[in-house]
Amino acid sequence: MTDPNDRLVSADADGPEEQVIEAALRPKKLDDFIGQERVREQLSLVLHSALQRGRTPDHVLLSGGPGLGKTTLAMIIAAELGQPLRISSGPAIERAGDLAAVLSTLAEGEVLFLDEIHRLARPAEEMLYMAMEDFRVDVVVGKGPGATAIPLDIAPFTLVGATTRAGMLPGPLRDRFGFVAHMDFYEPAELEVIVRRSARLLDVEIAGDAAAEVAGRSRGTPRIANRLLRRVRDYAEVRADGAVTHELARAALTLYEVDERGLDRLDRAVLASLMRKFGGGPVGLSTLAVSVGEEPETVEVVAEPFLVRQGLLARTPRGRIATPAAWAHLGLAPPPSSPMAGTLFDTDSLTGDSDRPDQ
């Protein structure tokens, strides 16, 4: 079965060594951050206005898919404010006491970054409400009828929360953020600029069309673009003179099974099984997962979002359906009995994603 963390086109965090490289490639200033122009402009106003007034900025919530730059922006916010950054995550804070320990040690103006904030434990989440609004927490001492709540003032701070599941955030928590931004997927031209910049930092000689090739297969995600660049660099160093040409980039990405649209082996296996074994669908999630030897959650969480975003697969109340674009991408023709054969595909008519008819 596929481990999502082993996928070259996964936007999830890498191992320790890869994380060190990613950190070295991160921009350090807001002006150096590529893409997300509207978010950068809005965030710049929030930060500089607070600096002019000598006040702590409002709390910031960043939402969007993994690998789009939420952690980088949190680091930039701290740097722009000239303050240290404290980093933690929702899953790491299991109890209210864990959060109180973090909050009580914050210095005035410090920036606290909470990744995956939607996964905070409920007691910690309720404590965070008061901390964000009044810069105070109530520490409960004792248990049962004799328990006592001791109010504890904390230094004014700025919370930067990051989430890939904004819909899972409770309303009271979301409402306490003064600035909420959604990070969009990047355009190929923006990713090409990122690839060129990363190549300079990695001392990799890369041709313009080679950078465009890497960018075009990066699924709109800077983290994937940087990862593909490093694999292309490895290929160039071992099998050529180290310079990355267009032909060499294509050969390297073909070896790593990343095609022209950014699909990898798992993505193509899902589409191929859907079309070859089930005539393009509709077919239930668990049946489709079994056909490719994966868990339903792997197919639903790891492969499907990108395939749907690319217009290659549709989730309908009756099951998963391959679109005409999917048939064309794999060079296959829909069977005459397929509802896709000879028709234009209207995704607006196939709403709903509650498909689990075979479970």
For domain 265-349, the CATH architecture is Orthogonal Bundle (1.10)
User: Are the CB atoms for 324 and 340 separated by under 8 Å?
Assistant: yes
**Residue among 323, 217, 319 at smallest CA distance from 271:** 323
H helical segments located in 5-140:
16-25, 37-53, 70-81, 96-103, 122-134
Binding residue per annotation — 135?
Answer: yes
What pLDDT sits at residue 23?
73
What pLDDT sits at residue 347?
40
User: pLDDT by residue (tens digit) across 151-206?
Assistant: 788 899 999 999 998 888 888 899 999 999 999 999 999 999 999 999 999 999 99
Binding residue per annotation — 223?
Answer: yes
Q: Please, is 318 exposed, middle or buried when counting C-beta atoms within 10 Å of its C-beta (0-12, 13-18, 19+)?
A: middle
Binding residue per annotation — 143?
Answer: no
Q: Domain 188-255, what fold? A: Helicase, Ruva Protein; domain 3 (1.10.8)
Average pLDDT, the chain: 86
User: Are the CB atoms for 318 and 353 separated by under 8 Å?
Assistant: no
Binding residue per annotation — 38?
Answer: no
Same fold, 36-182 and 265-349: no
What pLDDT sits at residue 145?
67
What pLDDT sits at residue 95?
85
What pLDDT sits at residue 13?
54
Binding residue per annotation — 67?
Answer: yes
Domain 36-182 is found in CATH 3.90.1300.10: no
User: Are the CB atoms for 186 and 220 separated by under 8 Å?
Assistant: yes
What pLDDT sits at residue 271?
94
Residue numbers annotated as active site: 70-71, 115, 164, 223
What pLDDT sits at residue 177?
94
Q: What is the pTM of this model?
A: 0.82
Binding residue per annotation — 230?
Answer: no
Q: 352 pLDDT exceeds 50?
A: no
User: Which pair of structure tokens corresponds to residue 340?
Assistant: 């896709």
Query: Rounded mean pLDDT of 109-129?
Result: 91
Cβ within 8 Å of residue 348, ≥6 positions away: none
What pLDDT sits at residue 130?
87
The strand pairing partners of 320, in sequence order, are: 283, 315
User: pLDDT by residue (tens digit) across 318-339?
Assistant: 999 999 999 999 998 887 765 5
Binding residue per annotation — 351?
Answer: no
Instruction: Name the residue ranges covered by the structural domains of the chain.
Output: 36-182, 188-255, 265-349
Work out whether the CA dihedral 256, 278, 331, 341 comes out positive or negative. negative
